[in-house]
Structure 1
Amino acid sequence: MTEPAPATASADVSPGGCPAHADVLPLYGPRFLRNPSELYREMRQEHGSVVPVVLEGDIPAWFVIGYREVHHVLSHPEVFARDCRRWNEWDNIPPDWPLRPFVGYQPSTLFAEGDEHRRRAGAISNSLFVVDQFDLRNKSEKIADELIDAFAMRGEAELMAEYAHPLPLLVLARMFGLPEAETPGLLRDMMTTVNGDEGALDAYQGICATMERLVAHKAEQPGADFVTRMMNDSADLTEEELIADLVLVMTAAQQPMAYWIGNTVRLMLTDDRFSLNLAGGRRSVGQALNEVLWEDTPTQNYLGRWAARPVHLGGQQINTGDLLVLGLAAANSDPRVRPAADAPAVGNQAMMSFSYGEHRCPFPAPELAEVICEAAVEVLLDRLPDVLLAVDPGDLEWSPSVWMRGLVDLPVRFAPSYVSG
């Protein structure tokens, strides 16, 4: 197996195989909020394509930010494995560590490998493949209209809380056959979990409990929905496997879609290339969605992969059991694949936003996500063609997460509009 070419920088490695503290950078803190792409450029210049870092709590890891190196890691699951039980740092991880929900072992597709992963991922793909994209588009538009109706007459709205977050959750809830009464608590739990806020572990358990109740409900009242199809798939999932994979699909879909919607609306309201076309917004929504995946992709960094054996990567010595954090956003901005950082990404689909390789988002999940997000943005522009930001673009606040890139709020104003239907 051929490894990527060494990077220009190297770092000391401690005897235990972890990055030495003298050379590491913290992979947390306020520097990630405003302009993470600039921080990634600085990291690349100083350390190369594989950077020694510490996570919250002074936990060591390797941050892979080169496009070629990320591609290599994702292409070789036999070396950079997914089962987190390989981690050589578990003895140092406190029970209340806020990132435990991301790395703590669960019997889900996320941590499965080889034939087991293919069996589990196949059930998800099979159950998503039969989703009618035209029907999904219609459902998404209907939900978008219902949400806009709630604020159209006010002439102002906060689009993240009132639109971008609830819309994908409501669409997913209908796909899952989830009772409507469950959605507010589920949204709250997912926000807490993804942001790593206080109570993240309890919130994650709340998501699991919601899915457990849903499985029990579908066992008694099956329907033409994603959960029922998963239960009946030839993969013959156990109840534990089923619940774990439903939690995975729901959490991996809702928050990225919410931020994809919000980031796209922000781009179209602040960039002249798009704002000049708002009245005919449908022409440029697809272009804006694609550009966001390159420039402000919702999933910025991903935990993780664990080295199955000692290996060199980007000029660094990675030891057995070391944790690798995948810098998907940093890879998207790697000058080796995008020499001109400000060059438009029209038509370029080679971004790492949906990951790559065996553990990428299962087909056709990216297509379905695009259908939902495109409908959300298009309906908003159709219903509110004169929508404008209610604050200066520089005053918009980004979510305090190293892992996700999305706005805390998106206040807008517009001429009071009619209620649909």
Structure 2
Amino acid sequence: MTVPPAEHATATPGPIPPPGCPAHTATGPGGATRLYGPAASTDPMGLYEELRAAHGPVAPVLLDGDVRAWLVLGYLENRDVASRPTQFSRDPRVWHGWTSGEIDPETSPLVPMIGWRPDCVCADGEEHQRLRGAVTAGLGQFDHRGLRRLITRFSHQLIDGFCEDGEVELVSRFTEHLPMLVLIHLLGMTDEDSPELVRAARDLFKATETSLASNAYVLESLRKLVVAKAARPGHDIASALLAHPAGLTEEEVQHHLRLVLLAGYETTANLMSNVLRMVVTDPRFRGSLAGGQMTVPEAVEQVLWDEPPLMVCPGRWANGDTTLGGQEIKAGDMLLLGLAAGNVDKTIRPDAETPVHHNRAHLSFSAGTHECPGQDIGRIIADTGIDILLTRLPDIDLSVPEESLSWRSSTWARHLTALPVSFGPRAPQGFDSLAPLPAPPARSEAVPAPRPVPASDTAGRTGPRPSWWARATRFLRGR
């Protein structure tokens, strides 16, 4: 894939990182810290704090191949960059690295993450509005209640596949599987596409030597889908994009389907794994859920604050010289949004141990005009899938020592590799034999106003909220 340089791109070198990173971190040219390799993989959050202590809210870092960039660590600085598209462009062709020889666009594993594509993520201004409007309409066509029914069906089918065994590895059998099943259904693909797409999607985010090939596989799969839907439209995202008044080309539709698939799958699978890990390893977290002090959606939101599924978001590019967080940013410099680091910035969250159940001001879905348009669907998948699993298997327990859990890390994200649990064996509920799933129902034209909640339901309520534990008890008793 060749990335054409923008006409206004400069040939000046990237930021010259000052020395000062802690001695035990992996440093490269100019003393900048590498965001890849063993040091970054072992304890990324610790690395971010070391960078913050050494450089403040914006730090010089190196990506794979010692490609230079700025990592934005501060919460307010992250929001500033995300909210000023005229100063910090989303179009990677602004980057001077394409013309300075800092990267080989034909071989670098960074290209699938930072290369230009004809999608709304790589566009600004009116072009961004045109493309994002089509994506928002494609995602918004599904009724949320219908989505929950679809996710419920898939969740029960997956759980039926292992509930009699009394043990299961949840990452491969549930948290990675469920989001992909839902997303390929919404996109208009078939279940047979799921296994290979899971592998390719994971490989893309690892930035390995096979990332380019995985990216090509995903694009080719989606090209075939676009051709099929152009001939026979259905009620799915692919068909909606093709028919949208914005007039997307087939190539633009293909790349937006890639965006929805990769972003939706990666973040939702990681989010579900992180929440379930907390359930089986943290007694206080589990106790709050079981006792009704915290609902599943609130648990999901807490994990979005503490352990974002995407830790670093690529990227922004400076349209001109500016100052950010005390650092001199030059035109054409690359900036990375440090979502995980920003969420624990002490300037807005002095005590990271204090729960943040009811606050959605975190950075986990980015911010500004490029804030994730599919976050509601991701939340619905996570909330519904986790709730059903805990209702049907309320006694799940970690079956290995907690210290033996391992992660696979890249510059962008940290993935739990396995979560083995045990539970009392149970008979399946018979969801394997259900008829083929219909398309999710469309959102109705007239949406009824929400029913007001009586004051007696909220004011003066002193007891705990209904918990998944109570619902599980009723479920197991056949009520």
3-state DSSP of counterpart to 2:376: helix
Measured at CA, do residues 161 and 282 of structure 1 come closer, stay the same or move farther in structure 2, by a change above 3 Å?
A: farther
Give the alignment partner of residue 37 of structure 2, picking from 21, 29, 32: 29
Q: Provide the rounded CA distance (Å) in 1 between the counterparts of 2:290 and 2:62.
A: 46
Q: CA deviation at 1:366?
A: 1.2
TM score, norm. by length of structure 2: 0.82
Give the alignment partner of residue 175 of structure 2, picking from 134, 158, 164: 164
Contact map agreement 1:192 1:198 (CA 8 A) in 2: no
3-state DSSP of counterpart to 2:408: coil
Task: Kindly provide the amino acid, as one letter, of the partner of residue 372 in structure 2.
Answer: C
User: Which residue is equivalent to 1:188?
Assistant: 199
User: Which residue is equivalent to 1:377?
Assistant: 386
Measured at CA, do residues 347 and 214 of structure 1 come closer, stay the same or move farther in structure 2, by a change above 3 Å?
A: same
Does 2:241 match 1:230? yes
Measured at CA, do residues 163 and 134 of structure 1 come closer, stay the same or move farther in structure 2, by a change above 3 Å?
A: same
Task: Kindly provide the amino acid, as one letter, of the partner of residue 128 in structure 1.
Answer: L
User: Which residue is equivalent to 1:10?
Assistant: none
Q: Provide the rounded CA distance (Å) in 1 between the counterparts of 2:292 and 2:115.
A: 43
3-state DSSP of counterpart to 2:407: coil
Q: How many residues end up aligned between the 2 structures?
A: 405
User: Which residue is equivalent to 1:19?
Assistant: 16
Task: Kindly provide the amino acid, as one letter, of the partner of residue 197 in structure 2.
Answer: L
Give the alignment partner of residue 402 of structure 2, picking from 393, 413, 418: 393
Q: Provide the rounded CA distance (Å) in 2 between the counterparts of 1:359 and 1:130.
A: 20
TM score, norm. by length of structure 1: 0.93
Does 2:67 match 1:56? no
Does 2:93 match 1:93? no
Q: CA deviation at 1:306?
A: 0.6
Contact map agreement 2:63 2:411 (CA 8 A) in 1: no
Give the alignment partner of residue 208 of structure 1, picking from 187, 202, 219: 219
3-state DSSP of counterpart to 1:117: helix
Task: Kindly provide the amino acid, as one letter, of the partner of residue 165 in structure 1.
Answer: E
Q: CA deviation at 1:111?
A: 0.5
Q: CA deviation at 1:273?
A: 2.2
Structure with a larger share of its residues in helix: 1
Measured at CA, do residues 360 and 278 of structure 1 come closer, stay the same or move farther in structure 2, by a change above 3 Å?
A: closer
Contact map agreement 2:166 2:422 (CA 8 A) in 1: yes
Q: CA deviation at 1:282?
A: 10
Q: CA deviation at 1:153?
A: 1.1
3-state DSSP of counterpart to 1:168: helix
> Which one is further off, 114-123 or 17-26?
17-26
Contact map agreement 1:301 1:326 (CA 8 A) in 2: yes
Contact map agreement 1:19 1:53 (CA 8 A) in 2: no
Give the alignment partner of residue 332 of structure 2, picking from 311, 321, 338: 321
> Which one is further off, 194-203 or 32-41?
32-41
Measured at CA, do residues 279 and 338 of structure 1 come closer, stay the same or move farther in structure 2, by a change above 3 Å?
A: closer
Contact map agreement 1:278 1:381 (CA 8 A) in 2: no
Taking only aligned residues, the RMSD between alpha carbons, in angstroms, comes to 1.5
Q: CA deviation at 1:278?
A: 5.8
Task: Kindly provide the amino acid, as one letter, of the partner of residue 57 in structure 1.
Answer: G
Task: Kindly provide the amino acid, as one letter, of the partner of residue 311 in structure 2.
Answer: Q
Q: Provide the rounded CA distance (Å) in 1 between the counterparts of 2:67 and 2:47.
A: 20
- Gaps spanning 5+ residues in structure 1: where? 1-14
User: Which residue is equivalent to 2:82?
Assistant: 74
Q: CA deviation at 1:35?
A: 3.5
Q: What percentage of residue pairs aligned between the two structures are identical? A: 39
- Gaps spanning 5+ residues in structure 2: where? 1-11, 18-28, 431-479
Contact map agreement 1:267 1:288 (CA 8 A) in 2: no
Give the alignment partner of residue 45 of structure 1, picking from 38, 53, 56: 53
Choose between structure 1 and 2 for higher RCO, CA contacts under 8 A separated by at least 6 residues.
1
Q: CA deviation at 1:191?
A: 1.1
Contact map agreement 1:84 1:111 (CA 8 A) in 2: yes
User: Which residue is equivalent to 1:420?
Assistant: 429
Q: Deviations over 1:234-277 (max 9, x none)?
A: 11101111111111111110011000100000111112223225
